[in-house]
Amino acid sequence: MLHHLLFVLNPISGDIDKSSLEADIAAYCSERGRHAAFFHTTGEDDLAKLRQRLAGEPYEAVFAAGGDGTVSLVATALAGTEVPLGIVPLGSGNGLSKDLGIPQEQAAALRLIWDHQVQAIDTLRVSEAFCAHLADLGFNALVVERFCNGDTRGPGAYVRIAMQEYLNYEPATYRIVTDRETFEGPAFMVTVANAKTFGSNVVINPDSQLDDGEFEICLIEPFPGTAALGILYQLYTENFDESVYTRRLRCRQARVEVPGQARVLVQVDGEPQEMDVPVEVTIRPRSLRVLLPSA
């Protein structure tokens, strides 16, 4: 039974008003004999501060109340420990929580405090970054970067930026060496997938397992404009593989080279960052314990 809980709250995620969230969660927990403590993210040095907090006081579970970035922050701090991660989805995408089958509604998500099962899932290291969900290079990384630097959030802003960038987008050439095979050629988008679905409900990696000790590199190769709608349809209907422009490489280890480039933009769990080339991807099997609805 979990009693002593820490909630990591992101005040800005998802443009959702959270002014009463702390009081609501505290009341909810105390009514059920649990003690809730709180950590508010600031956007500055949150990981170091959270680690310090966890080192100073033992918690039986830590809940991320925010979007994918907040989940990734808490997951980074908890990976490799026995302390499970809970998620109260309060972002704009909430990709990992959807993949895990966590209820998207606040009261139902909080119910996991006392009614849950614990599952250990794989996590990835993408060069120096921790990744629990999805990372990518290419088109989506560029759109996510523009989106994060823009003033407006929400799906509408993402689609507007994607349409603008698509018209002039020049796919890079990649050389991807996995423990099993090598791919060489241009790609519109290269997704390093621990999980299955983007927060937008695009299924980039159907039939994947979060605890199988393997990850997938999902490639969308350059395609003519006439094929765009068909590919988009496949992405929303779990048919990623049904195109001549898509392929997946299943592996345990991968090196992504981008010939002619020393640095590359990579989107990791919703956060864009510049990385040195090559980008090295490794898996840490069953390294993160998560709270899920009981079966």
Ligand X SMILES: Nc1ncnc2c1ncn2[C@@H]1O[C@H](COP(=O)(O)OP(=O)(O)OP(=O)(O)O)[C@@H](O)[C@H]1O
Q: Rule CB under 6 A: which residues touch ligand X?
A: 10-14, 41-43, 66-70, 91-94, 153, 199, 270-271
Least separation, in Å, of the C-beta of 130 and ligand X?
14
* Alpha-carbon gap, residue 63 to 88, rounded angstroms: 7
Q: Between 157 and 172, name the residue whose CB sits nearer to ligand X.
A: 157
- Considering the complex, state which of residue 197 and residue 246 has its C-beta at the smaller distance from ligand X: 197
Q: In angstroms, give the least distance from the CB of 180 to ligand X.
A: 31
Tokens standing for residue 40? 């508010």
Could you give the 3-state DSSP secondary structure of residue 175?
strand
CA distance 56 to 63: 17
**Cβ-closest position to ligand X:** 67
Nearer to ligand X, 10 or 208 (CB): 10
SS3 assignment for 246-272: EEEEEECEEEEECCCCCEEEEEECCEE
CB atoms within 10 A of CB 32: 12
Q: 260 phi and psi, to 5 degrees?
A: 90, -5
- Rounded to a whole number of angstroms, the minimum distance from the CB of residue 103 to ligand X is 15
Other Cβ atoms less than 10 A from the Cβ of 121: the count is 26
Q: Toward ligand X, which CB reaches closer, 98 or 248? A: 98
Q: Which is nearer to ligand X, 233 or 236 (CB)?
A: 236
Which lies closer to ligand X via its Cβ, residue 95 or residue 278?
95
Q: Whose Cβ is closer to ligand X: residue 4's or residue 49's?
A: 49
5 three-state secondary structure? strand
CB of 92 to ligand X, least distance (A): 4
As a whole number of angstroms, the distance between CA 247 and CA 202 comes to 16
How many other CB atoms are there within 10 angstroms of residue 78's CB atom? 25
Give the other-Cβ count within 10 Å of 16's Cβ.
Answer: 17
Other residues' Cβ atoms within 10 Å of the Cβ of residue 140: 26
Based on CB atoms, which residue is closest to ligand X, 130 or 174?
130
Cα(121)–Cα(292) distance, integer angstroms: 11
How far, in Å, CA of 240 to CA of 243, rounded?
A: 7
8 to each of 28, 187, 286, how far by Cα in Å? 16, 37, 23
